[in-house]
Structure 1
Amino acid sequence: MTGIHPAVVDVSGGNLVLVIVVALIALGALALGLMFRQEVLAAGDGTDNMRNIAQAVEEGANAYLQRQFRTLAVFAAIAFFGLLLLPADEVSVRIFRSVFFLVGAGFSAAVGYLGMSLAVRANVRVAAAANEQGRDPAMHIGFRTGATVGMLTVGLGLLGASLVVIFFQDNAPEVLEGFGFGAALLAMFMRVGGGIFTKAADVGADLVGKVENNIPEDDPRNAATIADNVGDNVGDCAGMAADLFESYAVVIVAALILGSQAFGDAGLVFPLLIPAIGALSAVAGVYLTKPRAGESGLTTINRAFYLSAAAGAVASVVLAFIYLPGDWADLEGASGQSADLSPALFASGAVVIGIVLAAAILALTGYFTGTEFKPVKDVGRTSLTGPATVILSGLAVGFESAVYTAIVIGAAVYGAALLAGGATTLALFGVALAGTGLLTTVGVIVAMDTFGPVSDNAQGIAEMSGDVSPEGAQILTELDAVGNTTKAITKGIAIATAVLAASALFASYIQTAVEAAVDAGVDLPVDIFFVFDAKVLVGALLGAAVVFLFSGLAINAVGRAAGAVVFEVRRQFREIPGIMEGTGRPEYGKVVDIVTKDSLRELATPGILAILAPIAVGFGLGVGPLAGFLAGAIATGTLMAVFLANAGGAWDNAKKLVEDGNHGGKGSPAHDATVIGDTVGDPFKDTAGPAINPLLKVMNLVALLIVAAVVNLTYGEGENDVVRILIALAATAVIVAAVYISKQRSVVIGDGDPGTPAPPSPPPAAPADPVTHPADPGATQPMPTTPPPAGPPPSA
């Protein structure tokens, strides 16, 4: 990214000390995460049955992630060498940009893997605490698990960025491009793969178990139950943790790129100080999460979020007035642009806008997906007239909520830019600073998100083991409902973070294009960015189309894998004697194997689309159309991601509303209708919707990385239309081939008649041999089984 920052930028003296302090805060966050982890693992882990089930889930999750990382290593190696070919100011910068690509990818993988590895050990401890100690200790363990992942996210994100600034100084923005790209690329793959895994198992388990055979969600007679619980961890824990980490990393990258131009020396320091404050306020939020008498778990968590956000806002304002000068002329190495507001007032205002945006998204998403509010209640009420009206009402909620969320995000972006008073460079930096303000809440947001799958798994372990008292089961049901809402809320905030990050990266792209042209000694025509240019409009349409195609591929992949799960579970009900009577043992490992293979083989196509689509448009149509492509993708992606997430969340909580006894309760036609709505919403909210977040950032980062080469081949000394068009055609051909191959895949994995649904049977008096360890997808021998549980059977 030649010329993106002034050469006079120098992080030394007091500034260098501050960046070192940021690195130490990052290390402190990691140490605190380790302390929280030990606190979780010190809790009791329940009965033998509960431990055996939890071990089965843990082994399945580990086996999947190990195979996924082996697959992703190929993409990482290709991207590493591809980055080496792109131009940079110095050879050393080009090398370390690739090296820090691997660091970013490694950190993203570490956050996902370590978060998942604790979650699969915490779920059984939450179940045991609910059974033996009550709600508050169970909630404490669940939230401490999330806090561990939150500290990992902010610690590794801050550590990576601060080390780059310390060692690379004015070349830091270029090196950070590689760091952000690695984090975003790996997160997208983990989001897509984990999302396909978890929702294929979930949809298949619900359709055959709940709808066709009228048995509970986590009934051990259903062969898909272990895969479903594994999926919660590889999708909602590993995938979401990696997603939020890359959002964290990419926002910092964009802020440092733009800050070095707008604020000079201070621009490479201030965007690190704000997330460092966020790390400290997140610690406060974790310790503030203490339930009060008679208070719901969601109220407790929301209160902690708002208090930590307020603390972060106050501290950020104080820091801005202490660190930043009162006059624009005192900013060393800055662009020379100024605003009517002082630097401190401008920066603190933008940061506060980002924090307020997080709070607004939390409230807005909670309204459209919470069981206590009108939208979900209306969706639940439509279950009385069947699944079609449930689906229609959920779609309406998703569409409407997307509009309001887009308005709120748009107001934040416009407000942050407005603070600059017309100074373009400052306006772009203001948007990035709003993103860093939102980052101050990420530690608590990650904790809230991880709480969801941990509580969901805890309820599943309790139901499958049969070892939990009715009081303990009710506590876990409540915590599961709270976790379901926190997951929906954090998806909304993750989308807002993605939009701010993508907007800042888009601004960096435009600025980089202009600077690259200056370095190449050519005048870049201003009108190439005009929206009424036909090529720019075509670029915008293509950007919007990629979002639709990406979403369709992800949902279709879930449908194919879920179909294979349905056929396999039906086969087992039909061919294995005594499953419904509780005397036969399901083959759990076969379902885990199916969803593992299918999710991994579906990774390539979305990844190819995200990486090669900007290359095809940029080299084929030019710099201006690529800007239109990014703008179209950001606008469409924002609306699509919110629509998918909130529609799915509304369907999911409408199902829980009915399961709580409304409209006939479990086993009623209304319940069947909401289960069908939930199966439609599952790939919406947990696969396609969340995967759009890293998609937008991957495409913006690819554009940012290639723009200098595009300018050179189009206008500079290396002008060569033949090479440019050949690159575009090659990228397009690979995309077309990947999509074609994906569309040829069958729903059924393996040979044989998919069979017909097994006839429904009433639940037996007590299930026998409730669970086996799933076979490692790469192994050929079955794992040992557990003894039958003592106590009452799972209730329908």
Structure 2
Amino acid sequence: MDVIPSELVLSGGDRAIVIAVGVVALVALVIAFVLRAGVLAAGQGTPRMREISEAVQEGATAYLGRQFRTLAIFVVIVFGLLFVLPADTVGERIGRSLFFLVGAGFSAFIGYLGMWLATRANVRVAAAATTEGREKAMQIAFRTGGTVGLATTGLGLLGASFVVLVYVGEAPKVLEGFGFGAAMLAMFMRVGGGIFTKAADVGADLVGKVEQGIPEDDPRNAATIADNVGDNVGDCAGMAADLFESYAVVLVASLILGSAAFGAKGLIFPLIVPAIGVLTAMLGIFLNKARPGENGLRTINRSFILSAAVSAVASAVASFVYLPGDFAALGLPGEPGNPALIAFLAVLIGIVLAAVILWLTGYFTGTETEPTQDVARTSLTGPATVILSGISIGFESAVYTALVIAAAVFGAYLLAGSLIVGLFMIALAGCGLLTTVGVIVAMDTFGPVSDNAQGVAEMSGEVSEEGARILTELDAVGNTTKAITKGIAIATAVLAATALFGSYSDAIGKAISSALGELSGLTGGLLDDAGDFVDVGTGFFVANVVQPGTLVGVILGAAVVFLFSGLAVNAVSRAAGAVVQEVRRQFREIPGIMEGTNRPEYGRVVDIVTRDSLRELATPGLLAVFAPIAVGFGLGVGPLAGYLAGAIATGTLMAVFLANSGGAWDNAKKIVEDGKYGGKGSDAHAATVIGDTVGDPFKDTAGPAINPLIKVMNLVSVLIAPAVIVLTVGDSANDAVRILISLAAVAIIVAAVVVSRRRASTLQADSAEPTGAPGRRS
């Protein structure tokens, strides 16, 4: 079976549905604009609060501008390379390359929108907490996220529906470029923004809280503006782009496999389900209203559950109305079951998966649950026990989350009676999860907006005591929602990557068929020298896992996740070291900072982390793009399949471990700051601050970046698979060229890693003793 039937034709009714989906996408963008206007209409507080907010806006805009100029080089290079890679038709090749630019552009726009609005919402949330109360402050923060969430779903759905309408049978191949562009930009923004935000945060905490004994956002700390800028370029811009590319890549996988399994209806149904999600996201965002005395997390969870429940009911209606009741109507008379029923069950699995991960992550990272309370309790015995307890929570929670995701993947697969339909069901589970993305983005953006609002309030000193209490509560809720969205994001990555295996297998099967002659005259299948198998009936490639080369690929895939994580954490360490030295220098050399009679040089720290983060993001990015090329051309398509399997399995566990450990440490610090175990300024507080500084690059740099990493590597593999086969089998086989390409990729990776390891920080290490150490309160 050809997984991408180019002869596919849409009926008039199908075209009407695609147009309707496009209209829903446009409505989402209009509603996003309305929400944006409502946020901007809120009061901005005092002149001092506005001054601080404008400084954050200026720093964030300057950073993203420099980042986009840097990434433009990568975009141009990849755009050219996509023209070189094989494609079935000239239209596919041109469309794939053009929509790579569209995907990258949309991802950049979503990231910029998230940053732009969040930097303007922070002061409004701070002002509302003092003048209008908790409910209004929470509404502004959540609707800021809702704006970005609806823009994310609207642009993703608009791009996909336009491609399906114009390219029809060629749409899945063209959407590979769309998804790759979105994923590549998101990964770079995730890494660069994550390095920026955590370098500033770690530096501010270590010198300000631990050495000088001053509050987190005290205006005397030179790193505070950079810290608040970082929340926006990392958590808002980076995560918004991340979830947009998750949306795009799941749609790519669904359309590729749907067109194979269900024909035209399989090309349309994956658009209908996310369109339902757009409508229910509007419902969840507009109906979100905090009740007096209610925990903020419960309020947000209620919005999520409402949206998910309505999506489940609407998806059931869409499945039974649009899809036939037997497979014979879809041209698959031998397939058992009811396609409408199993499609709905697959979507339901994805919705339930999102809800379970929401609960599971909230349990392990929430301020009111036992695991995080235990981490806070260990602060009584010092930073070592805080770190050990947080690590143990990360390890344990990763296992449970991985089991839940694995159960969802296998459950969706068991709904079908054949490989291709099973893979499509996994992709539909991803679509089910996508129905909640609008609310998920709102939940994620809520975190940094609340964090920044607290920073503006503390730096200005012009927020009431009740307002400060409200903002502290919202900040703690935001820490949990950020952890939850990271868990859901990695789940989408696993579902999309598993489904993309179908596209990878088909690309190889078609390339082998072209190189060795049509397989239709054979029976059973075709084995190559490595024992890998091409099934004649479906055209699918199946890797032989017992073959040593495939096992080597599994090990390499797992190793790349570890190396990528290490590079990201090490980059934060180097950049944070520069921040620490600069903040110490300012306390030492600029008179009057501690007395409040002189202002620190905030711009110096912003400039340091901007330069460091931009130069550090290249190495992890090059690793993600060139490692699959090295393995594929060097070892073959079987080991490359193993490589992807190793990366997905290890990446799932690593990402959840890093995110949940960091979330638990952060909220343990909040528990102590709220007065437990000695409160602020105590030894217990210092212990949790150290735990939090370890967790910062875990949860906000390395962990979230693994999500786009997995999908970038999968898409690169799908794109290069035909070229690998062309150089491996048939008359065009050329081992010399294949090995040269692999060696060139390895050389690029090695050079990037070596340069990264040898790179000095922006500032030379200062050997002087930290001048603020004696001032620490105990």
Give the alignment's TM-score, normalised by structure 2.
0.96
Aligned position for 1:400: 396
1:27-82 C-alpha deviation (Å, 9 max, x unpaired):
00000000000000000111000000000000000000000000000000000000
Q: Report the 3-state secondary structure (helix = DSSP H, G, I; strand = E; otherwise coil) of the residue aligned with 1:663.
A: helix
Matches within 5 A, 1:647-796: 647-746=661-760, 748-751=761-764, 753-760=766-773
Q: Give the conservation status (yes or no) of the 8 Å contact 1:398–1:645.
A: yes
Aligned pair 1:213/2:218, yes or no?
no
- Relative to structure 1, the CA distance from residue 432 to residue 762 in structure 2 (aligned partners, 3 Å threshold; closer, same or farther) is same
Which residue in the other structure is 2:29 paired with?
30
CA contact (8 A) 2:424 2:499 kept: yes
Question: Which of 381, 387, 394 is 1:385 aligned to?
Answer: 381
Deviations 1:734-766 (A, max 9, x none): 1001100000012x4235745321135769xxx
Offset of residue 508 of structure 1? 1.7
Distance 2:766 2:665 in 1: 32
Q: Say if 1:571 and 1:754, in contact at 8 Å, map to a contact too.
A: no
Question: SS where residue 714 of structure 1 aligns?
Answer: coil
Give the direction of change, closer, same or farther, for the CA distance of 1:586–1:97 in structure 2 (3 Å limit).
Answer: same
Runs of 4 or more above 4 Å deviation:
760-763
| SS of the residue 2:772 aligns to | coil
Structure 2 contact 45–123 (Cα < 8 Å) conserved: yes
Tell me the SS of whatever aligns to 1:269.
Answer: helix
Structure 1 window deviating more from structure 2 (710-719 vs 617-626): it is: 710-719
Q: What is the match of residue 627 of structure 1? A: 641
**What's 1:120 paired with?**
119
Pick from 313, 332, 337 the counterpart of residue 341 of structure 1: 337
**Conservation of the 8 A alpha-carbon contact between 1:262 and 1:337:** no
Q: Spell out the pairing of 1:426-505 with structure 2 (5 A cutoff).
A: 426-505=421-500
Instruction: Give identity over the alignment, percent.
Output: 71
Letter in 1 for 2:771: A
Alignment of 1:145-224 (within 5 A): 145-224=144-223
Number of the residue aligned with 2:68: 69
Shift of 1:293: 2.6
Task: Name the residue aligned to 2:515.
Answer: 520
Contact 1:354 1:438 in 2 (8 A): yes
- Which residue is equivalent to 2:575? 561
Asked if the contact 1:124/1:461 (under 8 Å) is kept, the reply is yes
1:355-381 per-residue CA deviation (whole Å, 9 max, x = no partner) reads 000000000000000111111011111
Q: 1:8, 1:94 → 2: CA distance?
A: 17
| Counterpart residue type for residue 691 of structure 1 | A
How far is the alpha carbon of 1:292 from its aligned partner? 1.8
Long gaps (5+) in structure 1: 764-794
Contact kept? 2:149, 2:437, Cα under 8 Å? yes
Looking at structure 1, the residues matched to 334 and 132 of structure 2 have their Cα atoms a distance apart, in angstroms, of 59
**Aligned ranges for residues 253-272 of structure 1 at < 5 Å?**
253-272=252-271
2:198/2:572 contact within 8 Å kept? yes
Decide whether the 8 Å contact of 2:250 with 2:495 is kept in 1. Answer: yes
Number of residue pairs matched by the alignment: 759
Kept in 2: contact 1:112–1:241 (CA 8 A): yes
Q: Deviations over 1:109-161 (max 9, x none)?
A: 00000111000000000001111110011111111100000011000000000
Number of the residue aligned with 1:544 = 558
Query: 8 Å contact 2:122–2:450 — kept in the other structure?
Result: yes
Q: Is the Cα contact below 8 Å between 1:259 and 1:267 reproduced in 2?
A: yes
1:329 aligns with 2:328: yes
- Does the aligned pair in 2 maintain the 1:192–1:691 contact within 8 Å? yes
Q: Tell me if structure 1 keeps the 8 A contact 2:189–2:241.
A: yes
Spell out, residue by residue over 1:417-448, the C-alpha distance to the aligned partner (whole angstroms, 9 max, x if none): 00003x01111111100000000000000000
Per the alignment, residue 775 of structure 1 pairs with: none
Report the CA distance between 1:89 and its aligned residue: 1.3
Quick one: distance in 2 between partners of 1:246 and 1:620? 29
Is 1:398–1:647's contact at 8 Å kept on the other side of the alignment?
yes
Evaluate the alpha carbon distance shift between residue 460 and residue 37 of structure 1 in structure 2; reply closer, same or farther with a 3 A threshold.
same
Instruction: Tell me the SS of whatever aligns to 1:493.
Output: helix
Alignment of 1:588 onto 2:602: yes
C-alpha separation in 2, matches of 1:264 and 1:328:
11
Letter paired with 1:708: P
Q: Deviations over 1:290-336 (max 9, x none)?
A: 112321111110011011101001100110000001121212xx5x3
SS in 1 for 2:595: coil
Cα contact 1:3–1:512 (8 A) shared by 2:
no
Q: Secondary structure at the match of 1:585?
A: coil
2:350 equivalent to 1:313: no
| Partner Cα distance (2:701, 2:710) in 1 | 15
Q: Is the 8 A contact 1:570 1:755 kept in 2?
A: no
**CA–CA distance in structure 1, aligned partners of residues 498 and 593 of structure 2:** 54
**What is the TM-score of this pair, normalised by structure 1?**
0.94
Aligned partner of 1:410 in structure 2 is: 406
What is the CA distance between 1:7 and its match in structure 2?
Answer: 3.4
Amino acid at match of 2:98: V
Alpha-carbon distance in 2 for matches of 1:693, 1:732 = 23
Say if 1:338 and 1:420, in contact at 8 Å, map to a contact too.
no
Contact kept in structure 2, 1:337 and 1:425, CA below 8 Å: no
Counterpart position of 2:87? 88
The AA in structure 2 aligned to 1:495 is I
Separation in structure 1 between the aligned mates of residue 775 and residue 639 of structure 2, nearest angstrom: 61
Give, in whole Å, the separation in 2 of the partners of 1:669 and 1:369. Answer: 22
How far apart, CA to CA, are the structure 1 residues paired with 2:399 and 2:773?
Answer: 42
**1:11, distance to aligned residue in structure 2 (A):** 1.9
Give the distance between the partners of 1:638 and 1:38, measured in 2 at CA.
38
Q: Contact conserved, 1:3 with 1:516, CA < 8 A, in 2?
A: no
Report SS of the residue matched to 1:358: helix
Alignment-derived partner of residue 43 in structure 1 = 42
Structure 1: distance between partners of 2:765 and 2:419: 63
1:371: which partner in 2? 367
Q: What is the distance in 1 between the residues matched to 2:372 and 2:627?
A: 37
Q: Compute the RMSD of aligned alpha carbons.
A: 1.4
Look up the match of 2:293: 294
Structure 1 residues 574, 337: closer, same or farther in 2, change over 3 A? farther
Partners of 2:409 and 2:400 lie apart in 1 by 14
What's the offset of the Cα at 1:339? 3.8
Which amino acid is 2:397 matched to?
S
Shift of 1:484: 1.1
Partner of 2:522: none
Which residue of 2 is the match for residue 573 of structure 1?
Answer: 587
Partner of 1:97: 96
* TM-aligned CA deviation for residue 90 of structure 1: 1.2
